[in-house]
Amino acid sequence: MKIPIINSKRQYETIAQKAEAAVLEVMRSGSYILGANNKEFEQEICKYLDVKHAVTLNSGTDALHLALRALDIGEGDEVISTAFTFVATSESIGIVGAKPVFVDIDPDTFNIDAAKIEAAITPKTKAIIPVHLYGQPCDMDVIIDIAKRHNLFVIEDACQAIGAEYKGKKVGTIGDIGCFSFYPTKNLGTMGDGGLLTTNSQYIKDRVIALRNHGGAIRYHHDEIGVNSRLDEIQAAILRVKLPYVDSWNKARREHAAYYNELFSKCDLIETPKELDNTYCVYHQYTVKIPNRDKVHQMLAERGIGAMIYYPIPLHLQKVHEKYNFKKGMLPITENNTKLVLSLPMFAEITKEEQEEVARTLIECVKEVSSTVSV
Ligand SMILES: *Cc1c(COP(=O)(O)O)cnc(C)c1O
C-alpha cells in the first residue's frame, strides 16, 4: 500500500461538484480579479476567525512581507522570529530590508521559546513574528506581554494554522496582524496560490489594500511603491466553497493525531507531538522525533510511506542569510530538532487502515535501525 503525505485528490472528490460549479460561474461572469467572490470571502473569513478586517492576497509570503511594509518596518530594523520554519517567514523580513533575529525553539512544541525572546530585543527591534508551526499555537500571552512592554508589533505567521486556537481565540487574530496561506496543501488550500492578511486595525487594512494593488487606494493614484498581489476570483470562489469544511477537516486531523499517538504509545523510540494547555492544535503536520531519522526516512520511502522532513536546514544556516554570519551552534535546540523530526501522512481523509500501516511500518523501521546502528 502506497500512502502519500497528503492526498489532495481525495479531498477534491468531497467538494468537486460545488467547486466546479463555482469556477464555472466565475468563468461565465467575466469578472476575474478582486470581484464579488473576493469581497464575500473576506467577509466570510472575518466572521470565521472573529476579526475585523481581512485582505485577500496572492500568497502567504505576500501577507508576511506586506504586513512588515504596512508597519513601516525596513532597512535598519530587526525582527525577531524562529529559524525552524518555512523560508518565507525570514525571507519576508529580508524582502523589506530588515534583519531577522532568530530565537531558539521550545523542544516540546517546535515553536519559538517565548522565554528567550526578551534577551534578543535591541533598540532596533520593531516586531516579533511567532510562527504557529505544524498548526500548533505559540504561547501568545507571553509573547503579547513582551511586545507590549517593549512597544513591538506582533505579526502572527498562521500559514499552517487556520482554525487553531489559543485560549479560545483563533490564531492570526491575537497579534497586530495575522498572515495566512492558501497554498493547496495547507489546511484551507485553494487550487493555486492564495493568501490573506487579517487585522483589527482600520489603518493597517487600508495600507494593505493599497499595497496589494500598486500602492494606491484610488485607481491610477499611487502613493507608494506597492506590488501586484491580488487574489483571482477563481481562487476566491474555491475558498468560499471550502471554508465551511475547515472545522470538520481540522477535527478529523485531530482525531487522526490522537490515533497515531495511541498507535505509537507502545514504542518509546518514537516521540509523539505534545500540545500546550488551553490550545486547539490543527495538525497541519503530525511530526514525530526519532533516532536515525535519515535512515528511517529512506526506508519508509522504499516501503511506500510518504514521510517528509520539515525542515532539514534551519534558516540561520541557509545561504540566503549568509551575510549575517549566523553561526552553527547558535540555536542548539533548533539544530537538534532538524536532525530528529519526521512528518507523517496527515490529511482529513486518511483512513484508520492507512494510519495503522504507517505506524506499523515506522515502528518496524525504527526498531530495525536501532538494533543495527548505534544511536
Ligand atoms: C506556506 C507557508 C508560508 C508561505 O505561504 P505561501 O502562500 O506559500 O507564500 C509562510 N510561512 C509558513 C510557516 C508556511 O507554512
All structural domains of the chain with their residue ranges: 8-103+113-244, 245-374
Do 4 and 307 touch, CB atoms closer than 8 A?
Answer: no
**Could you identify the atom of ligand 1 that is nearest to the CA of residue 62?**
9
Written out in words, the top-level CATH class of the domain with range 245-374 is: alpha beta
CA of 187 to the centre of ligand 1 (A): 12
Answer whether CATH 3.40.640.10 is correct for domain 8-103+113-244.
Answer: yes
pLDDT tens, the chain, 375 aa long: 899 999 999 999 999 999 999 999 999 999 999 999 999 999 999 999 999 999 999 999 999 999 999 999 999 999 999 999 999 999 999 999 999 999 999 999 999 999 999 999 999 999 999 999 999 999 999 999 999 999 999 999 999 999 999 999 999 999 999 999 999 999 999 999 999 999 999 999 999 999 999 999 888 889 999 999 999 999 999 999 999 999 999 999 999 999 999 999 999 999 999 999 999 999 999 999 999 999 999 999 999 999 999 999 999 999 999 999 999 999 999 999 999 999 999 999 999 999 999 999 999 999 999 888 654
What 8-state DSSP symbol labels residue 228?
A: B
CA of 73 to the centre of ligand 1 (A): 20
Closest CA relative to residue 159, chosen from 128, 127, 185, 192: 185
| Sequence-separated (6 or more) residues with CB below 8 Å from residue 304 | 1, 2, 3
CA of 22 to the centre of ligand 1 (A): 25
Residue nearest to atom 14 of ligand 1 (CA): 159
CA–CA dist 182, 251 (Å, integer)? 18
**Could you identify the atom of ligand 1 that is nearest to the CA of residue 131?**
13
Q: Burial-class residue 79 by CB neighbours within 10 Å (0-12, 13-18, 19+).
A: buried
C-beta of 85 in contact with ligand 1 (< 6 A): yes
